Chain A
């Protein structure tokens, strides 16, 4: 009990220090750019609180980041490192698009959308199955293979949009056809956000509950801690790892499907890029804690959505908000637990 208390207290203290330090550093940067830091921060806040659309943009970004975060976290709990969330997410978006354009074109919403999402999840899982197979059967390090698979997926998408799935009515421009209207998720009035944000948050809570409150989940974490010992204790390590990894990759794919059906509607070369990596980061900076991943991905989503607002209201180039984000990230890293050398 005491230990928990001190942990939380130290966490909060470090969080506070982190906020002060990163705001401080960024303020110095702002001053050198002849900006009043207070004006900038005010602009950031008002940009989000006075425009329903802008707030919606945060949810739009946060949903895939949070889900992709789970996709990195779940395998980590059982001792695998999934760096392929990026590629798996894109795979999901791609499959969702192809399904929507070529398979479900005339299906009604209540059938088509769930089917598309299912296919998206399967697409992600399939893309994750390849490096998983390499790990299980060929003993290849999954960190590296999943990383490589990301690059292959982006090239594959480029090939497809320049060729096979290119929109026949798109004047030869490298993009796919758009999914039909009834297969696009309805959004909240005045923004692009939709109910998928709730699914994402619920998922994170579910994951936390599973690993921390259920017996199975608790035991599975033992595998992540010490694989050999878990094996000796009688757990079917391989089976658990395979299922976990496939679920995680499927979740990434699902996130991609959400992205396709909520905002993108079509596939281009750079569609949905960067979201998987951000999800990886979001859980990476909070020590793979699913609950903390929620505010973490909220922060990342807000920061990456703030660039335009910042530029339009202060004249600062949009890159400034990414500078802010990276300062915060590095500060959070710097406040991590000191390792004994």
Chain B
């Protein structure tokens, strides 16, 4: 495999957890709720998935356990916000501390463990295509799913009644209610979905990409995914671009060194964020804004206690 092909491979593998968390948070944001706790959900998925793999070797079970862990985080995120009025960012920070501390604590004995996780499965025929074949079609099953995930999300959001209901919950509450949709249920579902998907991304990180577990393994990927939702203009199909742009920035770190390119890697990893801010500028100036209305109202409520 040559260098370019390897670069594509690393890009896609780095991008996979991002796509999961990105689509997850996108769904949540479309319903009007920003879940920065996808970082914590991803970490939980990392740890729970790895632990399940280690003790049972049962891969589908690992995915399931991750999903449950992520759904719990998602549930806490939305429930505490809707029922108790907690500010979503403060809450997300607290949930991330929670996830980090729980996984660091209970995951400590796992740090040197080895698992046989998701192995790469080559798709016959397609994987023989030069350059892109090995990179795209010789991946693990969780990565293959991410090829379809944005399309599925797009379909659900824009072509199904559920999607319309979800989007209306994020746009104008009153309209949604007028049509008989239960906005609360939609939000709960959307945010829990965000947690679930992010957790699957975490599972991929520990059980497929690196086959290891270390504390704080998600390394901010969840936060990045949350930020990249903006870059996608809340349109799922753009997730490919956003996530793999980030994956490429990560892959370039090593590639540049091997090719002796004198661009500092930290500038490269800064790029996705700068691009996102610029994109946000364009979105905000756009005459046809695509930001869900509910998100525009997000701030800090003045009274939580008292």
Contact = CB atoms under 8 A, between A and B. Distances in A.
B298 to A, nearest CB: 6
A132 interface: no
A62 interface: no
Given A151-B223, A336-B85, A287 B304 contact: yes
A139 B90 contact: no
From A79, A221, A319, A320, name the one whose CB has the most chain B CB atoms within 10 angstroms: A319
B84 A325 contact: no
Interface string A67-101: 00000100011011101000000000000000000
A63 interface: no
Interface string B274-288: 101100110011000
Nearest to B298: A143
A317 B102 CA distance: 11
Contact of A155 (B83, B95, B273, B305): B273
A167 interface: no
A289 interface: yes
A152 B304 CA distance: 30
Could you say which interface size class chain B belongs to? Answer: 35 or more
Contacts of B87: 284
Nearest to A14: B305
Nearest to B226: A147
B54 interface: no
A141 B295 contact: yes
A40 interface: no
B105 A286 contact: no
A80 B105 CA distance: 37
Contact of A148 (B91, B94, B227): B227
Contacts of A141: 280, 284, 291, 295-296, 298
A41 interface: no
Interface stretch (B17-25, B125-133, B202-210, B261-269): B261-269
B97 interface: yes
Contact of A77 (B230, B267, B285, B302): B302
A322 interface: yes
Contacts of A143: 89, 298-299
B71 to A, nearest CB: 17
A180 interface: no
Given A140-B281, A280-B90, A326-B101, A286 B304 contact: yes
B108 interface: yes
Interface stretch (A49-57, A117-125, A157-165, A247-255): A157-165
A156 interface: yes
A335 B306 CA distance: 10
A330 interface: yes
B98 interface: yes
Given A141-B284, A152-B270, A280-B89, A338 B83 contact: yes
A333 interface: yes
Given A80-B299, A151-B273, A284-B90, A335 B98 contact: no
26 contacts: A11-B305, A77-B302, A79-B299, A80-B299, A81-B299, A81-B300, A134-B281, A140-B280, A141-B296, A143-B89, A144-B280, A148-B230, A148-B277, A158-B269, A159-B264, A159-B266, A163-B264, A163-B266, A280-B89, A280-B93, A284-B93, A285-B304, A286-B305, A319-B101, A333-B94, A339-B84
Interface of B: 76, 80, 82-87, 89-91, 93-95, 97-98, 100-102, 104-105, 108, 184, 215, 220, 223-224, 227, 230, 264, 266-267, 269-270, 273-274, 276-277, 280-281, 284-285, 291, 295-296, 298-300, 302-306
Given A144-B230, A147-B227, A152-B270, 10 more contacts: A81-B299, A144-B280, A156-B270, A284-B93, A287-B306, A289-B305, A325-B97, A334-B84, A336-B85, A337-B305
